[in-house]
Amino acid sequence: MIVKDMILAIKKQYLDKIRAGEKLYELRRRFPANFSGRIFVYESKATQCVVGEIRFESIHHMQIDNLWDIVNGYSGVSEKEFFNYFEGLEKGFAVGITEFIEWENPIKINNPPQNYKYFTISRLDIQDKLTHNALF
Q: Would 133 be classed as within a structural domain?
A: no
Q: Would 56 be classed as within a structural domain?
A: yes
Question: Does 103 have pLDDT greater than 80?
Answer: yes
What is the pTM for the complete model shown?
A: 0.84
Work out the percent of the chain whose per-residue pLDDT is above 90. Answer: 65
Task: Of 60, 131, 48, 54, give the one whose Cα is nearest residue 98.
Answer: 54
Domain count, the chain: 1
Question: Does 93 have pLDDT greater than 70?
Answer: yes
Please give the full DSSP string across 90-132, using - where no structure is assigned: SEEEEEEEEEEEEEEEEEE-SS--SSEEEEEEEHHHHHHHHHT
CATH of residue 117: 2.30.130.30
Q: Would 131 be classed as within a structural domain?
A: no
Residue-level pLDDT at 136:
45
Q: Would 134 be classed as within a structural domain?
A: no
Q: Would 112 be classed as within a structural domain?
A: yes
Q: Would 135 be classed as within a structural domain?
A: no
Q: Would 49 be classed as within a structural domain?
A: yes
Coil, strand, or helix at residue 12? helix
User: What is the domain extent for residue 116?
Assistant: 2-126
Distances (CA, A) of 40 to 8, 50, 63, 83: 6, 7, 27, 26
Residues 112-122, mean pLDDT to the nearest whole number: 73
CA distance 95 to 106: 23
Residues 11-18, mean pLDDT to the nearest whole number: 96
CA distance 44 to 77: 18
Residue-level pLDDT at 47:
87
